[in-house]
Homo-oligomer: A and B are copies of this chain.
Amino acid sequence: MELLKDRIKKDGKVLSEHVLKVDSFLNHQIDPELMLAIGKEFAERFADEKITKIVTIESSGIAPSVMAGLYMKVPVIFARKRKSLTLNDDLLTATVHSFTKNETNEISLSKKYLSNEDRVLVIDDFLANGQAALGLVEIVEQAGAQIAGIGIVIEKSFQEGAQLLKEAGLRVESLARVASLSNGEVSFVNENVEELV
């Protein structure tokens, strides 16, 4: 998605070879019009998947998900993150480790909003190690619902998340795929070249 890649080039801050900060338009300050364009792009890419629900995780997944839900005319459910949860029969839960923050959280979602008739699009802002996305997939599968695909705003293709998800048989659509953050610069995966190979 060129609009997003241009914005990352313009406003993204490369903090290290592994950390790209985009808190001026996605993670802290949010550009609503960019979110609308992102939502539209997800809706187009997953148009044939008969999606009934979008599942994301607080907080940065919410804005792009709500815009995708607007175009797809489906509800969005955001999983909550907690250090630890008191046992609750009404919740679907999974454990997610964040390598970036070096912390482990329980993520949870109320049982009543997913059923075995749902086809779910999982959306998140970043895909790095894939742990958050895998946790969301686990929760959706606990509900007996089907995963229609994973929609990612920014994929760090040099980390193993995308590979892990694809190996699990999941369709992954990432709107910007970062090949490297070396030398303080963002390089994207060259999608055109990839398609030819």
With beta carbons under 8 angstroms apart, the residue of B24, B33, B59, B69 that contacts A73 is: B33
A33 touches B70 (CB 8 A): yes
Q: Considering the chains assembled together, what is the distance between the CA atoms of A70 and B36 in angstroms? A: 8
Contact pattern, A 75-88, Cβ under 8 Å of B = 1, otherwise 0: 11110100000000
Q: Which residue of B lies closest to A33 (CB)?
A: B70
Q: In the complex, how many angstroms separate the beta carbon of A69 from the nearest chain B beta carbon?
A: 4
Which residue among A25, A29, A75, A113 has the maximum number of chain B CB atoms within 10 Å of its CB? Answer: A29
In the complex, chain A residues 54-69 whose Cβ is within 8 Å of any chain B Cβ: 58-59, 62-63, 66-67, 69
Whether A77 contacts B113 by the Cβ 8 Å rule is no
A81 to chain B, nearest CB (A): 9
A144 within 8 A of B: no
Closest to A31 in B: B75
Is A24 a contact partner of B69 (Cβ separation < 8 A)?
no
Q: Is there an interface contact between B113 and A35, defined as CB atoms closer than 8 Å?
A: no
A52 part of interface (Cβ distance < 8 Å): no
Contact B73 A30 (CB under 8 A): no
A184 close to B (CB within 8 Å): no
Q: Are B33 and A76 in contact (CB under 8 A)?
A: no
- Which A residues from 17 to 63 make CB contacts under 8 A with B? 23-25, 28-33, 35-36, 58-59, 62-63
Tell which of B29, B36, B69 touches A77, judged by Cβ atoms closer than 8 Å: B29
- A113 — which chain B residues lie within 8 A by C-beta? 24, 28-29
Q: Contact between A110 and B70 (Cβ–Cβ < 8 Å)?
A: no
Between-chain CB contacts (< 8 Å), 16 pairs:
A23-B110, A25-B75, A28-B77, A29-B77, A29-B110, A30-B66, A30-B78, A32-B66, A32-B69, A32-B70, A32-B73, A59-B59, A62-B66, A63-B66, A63-B76, A66-B67
